[in-house]
Structure 1
Amino acid sequence: MSVDDVLELLQKRMSDGSFIRATISQPRAKSSEVKRIKLKPLELKGLFHIQFEYQKERILTHENIPLDAIVSPLQQALEQYKQFHIELTNETMQIQISKKMKVSIKRIFLDTEKTADYAHNRVKKYALKEGVPYPFLIRLGVQTPDGKVKNQKHDKFRQINRFVELIDDTLSHLPKDRTIRILDFGSGKSYLTFALYHYLRIEKGLDIRVTGLDLKKEVIEECQTIANDLHYEQLEFLVGDINDYTGDTAVDMVVTLHACDTATDMALAKAVKWGASVILSVPCCQHELFTQVHAPALDIMLQHGLVKERLAALATDSIRAELLTLAGYEAQLVEFIDMEHTPKNILIRAYRNDKKPSQAQIDRYVEFRTMLHATPYLEKELHALLPFIQHEI
């Protein structure tokens, strides 16, 4: 079988409905940003697509490609990657493509034919289902008493479900033999705090204790009233500042959503110092680096205020993720759906692994930070935990 044969086979199987999923890995170029590509079928607006999920070192992005345009991206993948694992309804295939483009293939035919579940992709299967009344969503004004999502609340419903998906991904990283301690800094109106509690406590039956913290006294009082009325006994809301909170010495999960500017860094630093197993953070209003950035090589970009603002925000989140990595976490920047329809849709997801950084990782971080002429707040906060970093630039 040749590479062209593989291309023809994949195109045919994607078209006849027998394609279930594929994983493409082992890039030929060591410099390749995309380390792995996952493919799955998807139906959008009545048309079949293949979703490409590009997995970079710490970022996931998606592209939905119609079947009639699939040949070119598949051909590029066959040219640029060595290994393909393909699941079909009646077989699995493991394909290796050598440096000289020689194809070797291992095929395992199944005794029982699977079903390609395109229906799964026609209607989004939310963890919280439309039409099912959830008491907390009704009280928060997202649903009507019969479970219908209110017209003006569909964006919030999607955001809540996206957040629940992310929470579900964290389950394997949380303790199973004791109460799970969770803190939500800057909880605000607490749509997502209630969703987190409902999913982990009600849906999954986990032993959890959750605290939502915010500076707005009236909002906190209202949230606590709702929690009491719903008999969410292990959910509390407190008035307080992220930096001043001293109510715990160890926490399993820290959530911070839309904490402004360095308030996000305060929460991240608290999480690391507590040894939190899971950190989920959506930053907001990032001004710190905007006033610090001085990189003549980037002046073509930095001369434009709008571009400088966005670059500073992206650099801030990249620095945060890198510092978490240096502090013993597996950190990624992932897409998140934002209620206000702003570009602020990056979520920092970090799982503690206690892995020691290499000197190359340390040098890479210092070089990047020095290039920007930045003195990140989070680096200063983690100074005692990162003694191997030269903190003066």
Structure 2
Amino acid sequence: MLNTPVVIHAEFLTALAESFAQDTFIKLTLGKYRGELAGLKNIYVRKVNIKGKPHLAFTSRFKTRDIVKNYPFEEGAARIAEELNQGFQHCTCFTLQKDLILDLQQGQGFRFRQAAPTSQTPVSDTHDKTKKRLISALDKPYLHALQITDAVGNVYKNAQDKYKQINQFINLLHPMISAISAGSLKQVVDMGSGKGYLTFALYDYLHHVMGSDTAVRGIEFRPDLVALCNEIAASSGFHKLDFVEGSIADYPATGIDMLIALHACDTATDDAICKGILAGAELIVVAPCCHKQIRREMSKVKQQPEIAALTDHGIFMERQAEMVTDALRSLILEYHGYKTKVFEFISDAHTPKNVLVVGTKATISPEHQEEVLKRIHAVKNFYGVNCHYLEKLVGL
């Protein structure tokens, strides 16, 4: 049955008020915006507790930023009605009992209907806890498409670790990206993007937290994952995010302002670092995986007596090879004018690959460069390393 917008809004708002009073309200979305406010795409509404009182939190999503405002319920409900009269053509209110849906029918006003509940699991309304995460689980279609959350933003139990990893990654990058001059990050490339968990989160952060118009690209050699990620990017409205099929070694080292490579196996990490160095990237971030090349080098020679006990056993040799490999990577980055840091990416409870090597573009004097080169040779000589693969790539 079709009614005028005023009647429909009243009926809808009554049902909304009942869900709020009965504590069955989960969230509300406003979409298909055709109004006059430039750049506005959607509005997402959820329930939060502020100083012990329930409020409605509105997240207005624009093309390059998000605006968040909180309202007491009555004021928030009035704003929902106002937004429906000023350009939004679709509204869905998710409750534990049913979905309440408004659709604008051309020339006939809004149609109000009810459907079976999308979810029967309540979303946390803790305001302070939500603010601590740069990547919220709510109103993120890509997280649902990647099977991190359900349709209303609840993180699946078996995806809790992945969600924590995503947020820790963004939290680690936040101060580094914030320190780069505004407008400098025009192109970000994720080498070996896989299923794109962190690529999507980085794009979300850059566009909706930092307000940047940065283009983000994922490089992945598996065509099925490339197709899947491009489909999710398109359905999420991430117009400056794309994924291309190919190898890290074959990707052109031009126009890259920030490069990330997480768990690229063995020397693929070196290929990625080389691309970043050659492009003069402002920021290079890698989480190395495997360290076979240097381990083979170290295994060819008899180690000095001082460290023999640390290399006689396979597990010790593996860990020593990891440290030597990443220490040399850090020094080679430093030689090429990068200020380097090496620290833990995430705890062992979530993934054993937990070292993050970060290079931030800086300047280096010829004297310091010569000192770094001596340190590189000293490490190689001590551990019996003939040549680090990254040295060959950069012509060191």
TM-score (norm 1): 0.63
Say if 1:312 and 1:178 are closer, same or farther in 2 by CA, change over 3 A: closer
2:202 paired residue number: 196
**Distance of 1:121 and 1:323 partners within structure 2:** 42
Report if aligned partners of 2:193, 2:218 keep a CA contact under 8 Å in 1: yes
1:114 paired residue number: none
Report if aligned partners of 2:135, 2:201 keep a CA contact under 8 Å in 1: no
Report if aligned partners of 1:269, 1:378 keep a CA contact under 8 Å in 2: yes
- 1:296-307 alignment, distance < 5 Å: 296-297=304-305, 298-307=307-316
1:136 paired residue number: 142
**Distance of 1:367 and 1:124 partners within structure 2:** 47
- 1:343-382 alignment, distance < 5 Å: 343-356=352-365, 357-374=368-385, 375-382=387-394
- 1:175-214 alignment, distance < 5 Å: 175-177=181-183, 180-214=186-220
Shift in Å, 1:222: 0.4
Say if 1:353 and 1:306 are closer, same or farther in 2 by CA, change over 3 A: same
1:285 corresponds to which of 290, 296, 317:
290
The residue type equivalent to 2:222 in the other structure is K
Higher Cα radius of gyration: 2
Say if 1:179 and 1:344 are closer, same or farther in 2 by CA, change over 3 A: closer
Report if aligned partners of 1:174, 1:252 keep a CA contact under 8 Å in 2: no
Shift in Å, 1:362: 2.4
- 1:45-84 alignment, distance < 5 Å: none
Q: Secondary structure at the match of 2:248?
A: coil
**Distance of 2:166 and 2:155 partners within structure 1:** 12
- 1:1-393 alignment, distance < 5 Å: 125-129=132-136, 132-177=138-183, 180-246=186-252, 249-293=254-298, 294=301, 295-297=303-305, 298-337=307-346, 341-356=350-365, 357-374=368-385, 375-383=387-395, 386=396
**Distance of 1:342 and 1:152 partners within structure 2:** 14
Superimposed CA distance per residue, residues 296-340 of structure 1 (whole angstroms, 9 cap, x where no aligned partner): 232211110111011101111111011101110011111112798
Superimposed CA distance per residue, residues 212-259 of structure 1 (whole angstroms, 9 cap, x where no aligned partner): 00110001100000011111110010000111112x522110010110
Shift in Å, 1:176: 2.2
The percent identity for this pair of structures is: 34
Superimposed CA distance per residue, residues 63-88 of structure 1 (whole angstroms, 9 cap, x where no aligned partner): xxxxxxxxxxxxxxxxxxxxxxxxxx
Superimposed CA distance per residue, residues 23-60 of structure 1 (whole angstroms, 9 cap, x where no aligned partner): xxxxxxxxxxxxxxxxxxxxxxxxxxxxxxxxxxxxxx
TM-score (norm 2): 0.63
Report if aligned partners of 2:192, 2:219 keep a CA contact under 8 Å in 1: yes
- Quick check: 287-296 or 269-278, which moved more? 287-296
Report if aligned partners of 1:167, 1:196 keep a CA contact under 8 Å in 2: no
**Distance of 2:315 and 2:335 partners within structure 1:** 30
Shift in Å, 1:153: 0.6
Say if 1:177 and 1:199 are closer, same or farther in 2 by CA, change over 3 A: closer
Shift in Å, 1:344: 1.6
The residue type equivalent to 1:330 in the other structure is K
**Distance of 2:180 and 2:336 partners within structure 1:** 19
The residue type equivalent to 2:364 in the other structure is K
Shift in Å, 1:358: 4.5
Say if 1:124 and 1:317 are closer, same or farther in 2 by CA, change over 3 A: farther
Shift in Å, 1:170: 2.2
Q: Secondary structure at the match of 2:371?
A: helix
Report if aligned partners of 1:156, 1:339 keep a CA contact under 8 Å in 2: no
The residue type equivalent to 2:388 in the other structure is P
Say if 1:178 and 1:346 are closer, same or farther in 2 by CA, change over 3 A: closer
**Distance of 1:290 and 1:185 partners within structure 2:** 24
2:70 paired residue number: none
Report if aligned partners of 2:334, 2:372 keep a CA contact under 8 Å in 1: no
Shift in Å, 1:129: 3.3
The residue type equivalent to 2:187 in the other structure is R
- Quick check: 346-355 or 357-366, which moved more? 357-366
**Distance of 2:347 and 2:144 partners within structure 1:** 21
Number of equivalenced pairs: 264
